[in-house]
Structure 1
Amino acid sequence: MLYKQKKNPAPKGNRFLISITVQGSAGPIRFVVNEEELVAAVIDTALKSYAREGRLPILGSDLNDFFLYCPNACSGALSPWDTIGSPGVRNFMLCKKPQTEKIGEAGTLETAIARRGSGKWKTWLNKSLNLKISSH
């Protein structure tokens, strides 16, 4: 009897470990991704992992409510249609999108972003990375 080895199809692209820090959570989520995976799929995986681990604060499961940022790069949020390997980094930050106010009492649509919470992630990021330069 000859033993036939099963051949697993070779994964497309490189796989690497990423670390996603969730704003307000105690520590990062780490998992392996394919460099060709879309950012939207990575956000979905991160939210499922976060919920499975029972982390706080509770985030929800709608990936459209979140942005994925590269804290090292000064650019804005990654597009959900970009591949996760395109920025060339392995550390990310997951932030909830700011809530917009609903239709006002006068019947006008207010598109202003709620002021409460705006800019908190940048402050937190600067404090956590200790980017302050001492003057002495």
Structure 2
Amino acid sequence: MLMYNKQKKTQGQAGKNRLLISITVIGSAGPIRFVVNAEELVASVMDTALKSYAREGRLPVLGSNVNEFVLYCPIAGTEALSPVEAIGSFGIRNFMLCKKPQPMEEVGGDGKPVTVGITRKNSGSWKSWFNKSFNLKVSTH
């Protein structure tokens, strides 16, 4: 009976500051779910998510460098979360992990690489795609 009370007491204390979070990786089949301390830093959570992603053998292969990724909260807005903040300070449990956009490099006329801004092949937004897809052309006959 004494052992049972000690286990119950320690479980109750540990459960107060732990969160079950869900991280969706862009291009992956489903979210990664794991338990973290609410005081854990965003960078540490990203590292855990990348390691878990690799251990499960998910595709596409991402790598393990935390500095190449950003963590977003789809509900809170479009700003990336600061890597030095506590994950529990946001009050949210669903996140999205994205790779940082890398600038493209081109070789200039003198043979030196020139960094160019990020370009898009498409027009840019889902709204413009939607408007182009459902553009109704009304003919007179």
Q: Smaller-chain TM-score range?
A: 0.7 to 0.9
Q: Pick one of 35, 39, 42 that aligns with 2:42.
A: 39
- What SS does the aligned partner of 1:85 have? helix
TM-score (norm 1): 0.73
Does 2:115 match 1:110?
A: yes
Structure 2: gaps of 5 or more residues:
127-141
Query: Residue type matched to 1:115 in 2?
Result: R
Pairing of 1:93-108 with structure 2 (within 5 A): 93-102=96-105, 104-106=107-109, 107=112
Runs of 4+ in 1 over 3 A off after TM superposition: 106-109, 116-119
Structure 1: gaps of 5 or more residues: 124-136
Matched-pair identity in %:
62
Partner Cα distance (1:114, 1:75) in 2: 19
Which of the residues 63, 66, 71 maps onto 1:68? 71
Match of 1:128 in 2: none
Please give the alpha-carbon distance, in whole angstroms, between the structure 1 residues aligned to 2:122 and 2:115: 17
**CA pair 112-40 structure 1, distance change in 2 beyond 3 A:** same
CA–CA separation in structure 1 for the residues paired with 2:56 and 2:104:
31
Whichever structure has more strand as a proportion of its residues is 2
Match of 1:127 in 2: none
- Once the 2 structures are TM-superposed, how far is the Cα of residue 108 of structure 1 from its aligned partner? 6.4
- 8 A Cα contact 1:23 1:94, kept in partner: yes
Distance 1:81 1:35 in 2: 13
| 1:91 aligned partner | 94
1:134 paired residue number:
none
TM-score by length of 2: 0.70
- Aligned residues: CA RMSD: 3.0
- Count the aligned residue pairs: 118
Structure with greater proportional helix content:
2
* CA distance in 2: counterparts of 1:69 and 1:28, whole angstroms: 14
